[in-house]
Structure 1
Amino acid sequence: MSKKQTSAAPRRHYDDQFKADAVQLLENGQRSVPDVAKSLGVSANMLYRWRDLAKADKGQVTNQAELVQLREQLRRTEQERDILKKALSIFSRMT
């Protein structure tokens, strides 16, 4: 018995900037996914995956920004509550 050896092409690794540039070409809306894939020498499926990951990352950044904003709003509201408690305490002693 002889073993068949397949000579699969080695996996190519693309840096984050390359992926971001590829996604940017798609987001411009001027070129189709197959067209961009062919010009960059990558598969269309890979471009779809990069695009989906980029959208997920944007959503995560948006959620983090909203979380920071809500925490700041909570901090201000708690400060206002503490001031009103102190004021209530002061005004109750006056009567």
Structure 2
Amino acid sequence: MAKRFNDDFKQMIVDLAQTDMPLAEIADSYSVGVSTIQKWVKASQDNKLQSTTSADVTKLRQELAAAKQENDILKKSLAIFARKIK
């Protein structure tokens, strides 16, 4: 039967894995397989990338909306000045 680990335990192991402590030593100390630790570390990194990415996407969408608004204003002002020149 497969062991079940809670999220706090997994996070503790991931934190240990990110130190200089060898994975084999962590695996022996906590009775977890090295491949399991590697999966948890990869999943943790993927989660960090996703959260950063969604925040970046939100920021970029806001910047794009502002740029579109500025572009519309410039187009309208160009039309006004073009009429005055004729």
Aligned 1:1-95 pairs, distance under 5 A:
10-29=1-20, 31-95=21-85
Identity %: 32
Per mean C-alpha deviation after superposition, the further-off stretch among 61-70 and 31-40 is 61-70
Q: Normalising to structure 2: TM-score of the pair?
A: 0.84
Rg (Cα) greater in structure: 1
Q: What is the CA distance between 1:81 and its match in structure 2?
A: 0.4
Superposed displacement of residue 58, structure 1: 1.7
Structure 1 portions without partners, runs of 5+: 1-9
Length-normalised TM-score, structure 1? 0.77
Between Structure 1 and Structure 2, which shows a larger proportion of helix residues?
2
Task: Point out where structure 2 has 5 or more consecutive residues left out of the alignment.
Answer: none
Deviations 1:56-89 (A, max 9, x none): 2222222222212221221111011011112112
Q: What SS does structure 2 have at the residue aligned with 1:75?
A: helix
Give the length in aligned residue pairs.
Answer: 85
Calculate the aligned-residue CA RMSD, in Å: 1.5
Any idea what the Cα deviations from partners look like across 1:33-73, whole Å, max 9, x if unmatched?
01111121211111011111111222222222221222122
